Amino acid sequence: MGSCFVDRIGELIELTAAEMVALSGLEQRERSLRRGAVLLREHDKLADMFIVRRGVLMSFVLLPDGSRQILRFLFPGDLIGVSSLVYRTSTESIAALSEAVVAPFDRALIGTLIAEHPRLTGVLMALHEMERVILTDRLAALGRTSAKVRVASLLIEIRNRQRIDDRNIGASFALGLTQEEIGDATGLTSVHVNRMLRQLEEEGMISRAGGRFTITNEPALIRAANYIDRSSRIDLGWLPAAK
Amino acid sequence: MGSCFVDRIGELIELTAAEMVALSGLEQRERSLRRGAVLLREHDKLADMFIVRRGVLMSFVLLPDGSRQILRFLFPGDLIGVSSLVYRTSTESIAALSEAVVAPFDRALIGTLIAEHPRLTGVLMALHEMERVILTDRLAALGRTSAKVRVASLLIEIRNRQRIDDRNIGASFALGLTQEEIGDATGLTSVHVNRMLRQLEEEGMISRAGGRFTITNEPALIRAANYIDRSSRIDLGWLPAAK
DNA sequence: CGCAAATTTGAACGTAGTCAACAAGTGTGG
DNA sequence: CCACACTTGTTGACTACGTTCAAATTTGCG
């Protein structure tokens, strides 16, 4: 019954009652997705946005030669379809990687939010900027790091993200991705992903069994991934007052 | 005397007098930079943002092994330091690629803007999203396209961007980048960039002389670059009313 | 149990990187 | 105005990381 978006934003600021109401207003409707279902296709006409309520999805683009680049993985509390605030048609495709539930809402509601809740608007911009910074980190990884580094950092990223929703997750976790999907996210072929995973395993950083990964030497894996933790440096001191 | 930011936003919506005043308020101060000067370094403490008024700059990150990834090129009207809306320290370094002038302003002014100008806030979000989409395009290029494609698309991008500020620019233009910089933007070595440029030249798509490039077969170059023009699909119909 | 999808492995290949040397510009001070 | 230093561009030879292709094996699932 709770709102995922309220939870997400509530981690950044202390919400007023009115703000909570406004945010929950975005999650009135619900739509369930099977694993593999496509929520949005590139170039689809686009007037709705979505908030992820449950499950994991991915956003990706397809290139003329048929290859796929996964842009990001979407977890509960994430926004889908922000590009509808600018473009008539979607710039990305979205598909479910597990059973998933999303909450669709009309993009015009963002306009209402901006007009009535300046502080929430500020947080929205901050969330949006965090997305952008994640993309720059990925860009640097694709442009300037080796296959092993990219695979290692994907493992760490997904594990850390899963742990936010489930504090029980420790060294062992289910990645929930095929090796082909790992490849499409890291800019590699599935064959080479397989070799990199085996190499990380041989070097004692991870072990694998039945689709589950276990990080057996976390410091080494983090070093191999040149992982950047940005969550500790957040500062929203500039936000306008709540209305 | 005009404001670059007013110009930029004025291309997207019809500004009211009050909105123009608010936007020009962000460009009260000025700071000049020599070619090569560093405006911001990663991890620098950060409370100001900047609007580019003249010249070209780049934002980049340095990796642990010393390699550099250029994230984007900054032209008049672009915002610098949006990450100060979230992070205590800068996530990117910024350096001038030519003589340049920027207008610094306190990030808290964004809070004022949000509180007083809902429609401008919406446009700001739209601009921010356009930045994000550019990054996803680049990400797909780095992850899934060949060296030649990446170099070709960089040439087209820069030429097209220059043409926005100077309608005289046609097939011939000064790129203003060294081959090493092209490499750092496209995830290649300068040596390989050189080979790709020569190859594009041999195939009759471009010619070079004294630092200037001339596009000799634009349709072919655009095809080689699998260029995406997003500017034609903009739709800001959701914006709240101006106040 | 049987099928399809996913993983694993090997061999050959190719794109892009590395190293090195040289040429061509560019700017500076004498 | 020239000499010198330094940066940038150019080219060749060699290397290596990651891809491609193909086949075998394992896993998940109806």
Burial class (CB in 10 A: 0-12, 13-18, 19+), B89: middle
Instruction: Indicate the pLDDT class of residue A178, thresholds 50, 70 and 90.
Output: very high
Q: In this complex, is the C-beta atom of B144 within 8 Å of any C-beta atom belonging to chain A?
A: yes
| Contact assignment for B140 to A71 by CB distance below 8 Å | yes
Please, which positions of strand C sit below 7 A from a protein CB?
A: 5-11, 15-20, 25-26
pLDDT in tens, B90-125: 999 999 999 999 999 999 999 999 999 999 999 999
pLDDT in tens, B33-82: 999 999 999 999 988 999 999 999 999 999 999 999 999 999 999 999 99
Q: What is the mean pLDDT of residues A178-190?
A: 98
- The distance (Å) linking the CA of A9 with the C1' of C25 is 55
Q: Is the dihedral of CA A32, A38, A39, A45 positive or negative?
A: negative
Q: What is the pLDDT of residue B1?
A: 57
- The distance (Å) linking the CA of A197 with the C1' of C2 is 30
Contacts of residue B163, defined as CB under 8 A and 6 or more positions apart, other chains included, come to B169, B170, B173
Q: What is the pLDDT of residue B219?
A: 96
Instruction: Indicate the pLDDT class of residue B210, thresholds 50, 70 and 90.
Output: confident
Q: What is the pLDDT of residue A2?
A: 79
Instruction: Pull the structure tokens for residue A127.
Output: 């969330």
Q: What is the pLDDT of residue B238?
A: 94
Instruction: List, as ranges, residues 155-214 from B with C-beta within 8 Å of A.
Output: 186-187
A183 chain-B contacts, CB cut-off 8 A: none
Burial class (CB in 10 A: 0-12, 13-18, 19+), B134: middle
Q: Which of A121, A129, A140 sits opposite B69 (nearest CB)?
A: A140
- Gyration radius of chain B's alpha carbons: 19
Instruction: Pull the structure tokens for residue A115.
Output: 């007009």
Q: In this complex, is the C-beta atom of A62 within 8 Å of any C-beta atom belonging to chain B?
A: no
Closest of B208, B178, B192 to residue B149, by C-alpha: B192
A230 chain-B contacts, CB cut-off 8 A: 87, 91
Q: Which residue of A has its CA nearest to B70?
A: A140
pLDDT in tens, A75-121: 999 999 999 999 999 999 999 999 999 999 999 999 999 999 999 99
pLDDT in tens, A8-67: 999 999 999 999 999 999 999 999 999 999 999 999 998 899 999 999 999 999 999 999
**Cβ–Cβ < 8 Å for B186, B228:** no
**Where does chain A show beta strands of DSSP type E?**
31-33, 38-40, 48-54, 57-62, 68-74, 79-80, 93-96, 100-106, 172-174, 206-209, 212-215
Percent residues over pLDDT 70 in chain A: 100
Round the average pLDDT of chain A to a whole number and report it: 95
Query: How far apart, in whole angstroms, are the C-alpha atoms of residue B235 and residue A82?
Result: 13
Q: What is the pLDDT of residue B171?
A: 92
pLDDT score of B141 more than 60: yes
pLDDT in tens, B157-173: 999 999 999 999 889 99
| Contact assignment for A108 to B238 by CB distance below 8 Å | yes
Contacts of residue B49, defined as CB under 8 A and 6 or more positions apart, other chains included, come to B79, B80, B81, B82, B84, B85, B104, B105, B106, B107, B110
pLDDT score of A215 more than 60: yes
Instruction: Indicate the pLDDT class of residue A211, thresholds 50, 70 and 90.
Output: confident
Q: What is the mean pLDDT of residues A154-169?
A: 94
CA atoms within 13 A on the CB side of B129: 24
Instruction: Indicate the pLDDT class of residue A123, thresholds 50, 70 and 90.
Output: very high
CA A202-A204-A206 angle, 5° bins: 95
Q: What is the pLDDT of residue A1?
A: 57
Q: In this complex, is the C-beta atom of B66 within 8 Å of any C-beta atom belonging to chain A?
A: no
Closest of B29, B71, B21 to residue B49, by C-alpha: B29
Percent residues over pLDDT 90 in chain B: 92
pLDDT score of A142 more than 90: yes
B223: left (phi over 0), alpha (psi -120 to 50) or beta: alpha
**Cβ–Cβ < 8 Å for B64, A141:** no
pLDDT score of A128 more than 60: yes
